[in-house]
Amino acid sequence: MIIYSRLLGFLILSLIFHLMIILILPELRIDFKNLKPREIELKIVKKSAVSKRIKSSNKLQNPIKKFDLNKIKEKLKRNKNQSKQVDSNVDLPVANNLEKILIPEFENVQLEGEKSANKVELNSELAKTKEEVLKEYNQKNNEISASKNSDFYEIKKISNIRRKIIYEPPKPKFQLEKDTKITLKFKVDNYGIPYDIRFVTRSSSYVENIAINFIKRLRFDAVDYTKPDEVEIVLFFKVE
């Protein structure tokens, strides 16, 4: 009975409290009789491009958050340790980069079959070799200049003395009042075709055009290297 009396008293107090709230607050008084329907304006707003970008960026960031950087670092360390522990099946020689290589002194070079008293210095040998090369160079240039058409052209210099002319066009016909000559330089590619023709000495445009056309038709032998050779040539225009 005591429990029921307390419960009844609590309900009465709660009812009095709620009635007081209704009487004190007039905003809560609802007149159901005077209720009328009201019109409400609704506007449909499209989602902005910014919101779409924010959502797309969130989607990209979500999978990144799932990864644990510490776990990735641990896996990398394990892989490095495993690679270090792998034994090689090949017996590699032990190399020492501190070993010295004995280089002979070139100041005093002893030729094979000669006595120690007949030692020859390297500089003198190089000088002799240079003289022999120059002699051969001059001989080859003399042979080149002594060609069958030496009355019309003469090759003064050529970077590769072993390159030969395999085709020379016929001597051009021209009409001049007096004898003249012209010097030109040009390059020869690995196929033996002249190009990049330049004038060392100038003459009339008539003579220069004949000289250029003659050089373009010259053909040298082909070589197996790509670096071009340089040639200096003199053309003699003699009035007959």
pLDDT digits (tens, 9 = 90+) for 1-45: 667 777 788 888 888 888 777 777 655 556 666 666 777 777 776
Say if residue 124's pLDDT is above 80: no
pLDDT digits (tens, 9 = 90+) for 36-65: 677 777 777 666 655 666 666 655 555 555
H, E, C per residue of the chain: CHHHHHHHHHHHHHHHHHHHHHHHCHHHCCCCCCCCCCCCCCCCCCCCHHHHHHHHHHHHHHHHHHCCHHHHHHHHHHHHHHHHHCCCCCCCCCCCCCCCCCCCCCCEECCCCCCHHHCEEHHHHHHHHHHHHHHHHHHHHHHHHCCCCCCCEEEEEECCCCCCEEECCCCCCCCCCCCEEEEEEEEECCCCCEEEEEECCCCCHHHHHHHHHHHHHCEECCCCCCCCEEEEEEEEECCC
pLDDT bucket at 148, cuts 50 / 70 / 90: very low
Of 56 and 78, the one with more pLDDT: 78
Domain boundaries, the chain: 129-237
User: Which fold is adopted by the domain 129-237?
Assistant: TolA/TonB C-terminal domain (3.30.2420)
Prediction pTM value: 0.41
